[in-house]
Amino acid sequence: MNNFVLNRPPDVARCVAAAAQPGASFIAGGTTVIDLWKLGAYPVTQLVDLNGLALRGISAGPGGLKLGALARMSAVGEHADVKTHYPLVAQALLLSASPQIRNMGTMGGNLLQRPRSLAYRNPDPQRRDGPSRFDALFGVTGHSRAPHPSDLAVALTALDASVRIAGAAPRGERTLKLSEFYRIPQDSLKFDTLQPGEMITAVEASVPFARHSAYIKIRDRASYQFAIVSAAVALDLDGDTIREARIAAGGVGTIPWRFPAAESALAGQRATPESFTRAIARLDRGAVTHEFNLFKVDLLRRTTLRALEAALAAT
């Protein structure tokens, strides 16, 4: 039995100080931590329980989106203002996991859940998955080709969202764009840039046109399953002309992946099947394929096309 001590400090400063100790880690909803701990793949001597912190706030409106790190997936996904102003976020959350897991899973824990491959879930560091149909197309390194599993992270990447981070002095508080928060695993399996003891306190985004957005998820069965491919799209429309487009995808990158070339191809164009088709033709730039994951290239294009159409139809 691998025992650990469970602490519930009453404020952020003491949580951060406790988690900076060797062998310590945070626990929020526990749906990833306890899963991995039972497998022997989460070696900790101390778990710092964040549930005593007042970080469950949810606000969404024309001025922006702000989600406390401990806001539950179900609470955010069902929130009327999130559904109205940031539909892609609500859709991504309500297509995630199961109702029970969504009732426990938090914003911070969801962004930091581990990929589902053996490399992350097996205590034997030598154990690696062979090539498979799940493999990512982008951000693949010798260390990982497992796609990042979070649906929420894909929607937030399309919004160019930021995370607020609290850490011990001298670093203190900082804010990072998700594009800086996630990093392609280079020299280890670590895919985030948090320092020891640092925690997420909130997630923020400000995209005034996010009402025109959609999240489409393709999976092996209709519920309780991770994405094979997903696409998050937001469109800034002036009549039928696209001022700006945001496109991100899941199931295809070792971290949530954004597509600037396809976004540029849409800017200034009329929102038509032809402009959408030209844009999605650019999605495979840099894709690393093999015989098992090659199907994802076409699936990525089709899923993104559906997300573009759904974002255009959103009122």
Ligand X SMILES: Cc1cc2nc3c(=O)[nH]c(=O)nc-3n(C[C@H](O)[C@H](O)[C@H](O)COP(=O)(O)OP(=O)(O)OC[C@H]3O[C@@H](n4cnc5c(N)ncnc54)[C@H](O)[C@@H]3O)c2cc1C
Which residues lie near ligand X (CB under 6 A)?
25-33, 35, 50, 69, 73, 96-97, 101, 104-106, 108-110, 112-113, 149-152, 199-200, 226
- DSSP E strand boundaries for the chain: 5-7, 24-27, 46-49, 58-61, 64-68, 162-166, 173-177, 199-205, 213-218, 229-238, 241-250, 257-258
Residue 299: what residue type? L
Closest approach of Cβ 214 to ligand X, in Å? 17
> Looking at beta carbons, which residue is closest to ligand X?
109
Residue placing its CB nearer to ligand X in the complex, 224 or 292: 224
Closest approach of Cβ 185 to ligand X, in Å? 15
Closest approach of Cβ 218 to ligand X, in Å? 12
Closest approach of Cβ 116 to ligand X, in Å? 8
Closest approach of Cβ 144 to ligand X, in Å? 16
Q: Are strands 162-166 and 64-68 parallel, antiparallel or unpaired?
A: unpaired
φ and ψ at residue 234, rounded to 5 degrees: -130, 140
Residue placing its CB nearer to ligand X in the complex, 212 or 296: 296
Residue placing its CB nearer to ligand X in the complex, 18 or 28: 28
Residue placing its CB nearer to ligand X in the complex, 28 or 90: 28
Distances (CA, A) of 95 to 10, 85, 92, 140, 152: 33, 18, 5, 26, 10
Structure tokens given for 167: 């850490």
Greatest distance between any 2 Cα atoms in the chain: 62
Closest approach of Cβ 127 to ligand X, in Å? 20
Residue placing its CB nearer to ligand X in the complex, 73 or 245: 73
Residue 28: what residue type? A
Residue placing its CB nearer to ligand X in the complex, 29 or 275: 29
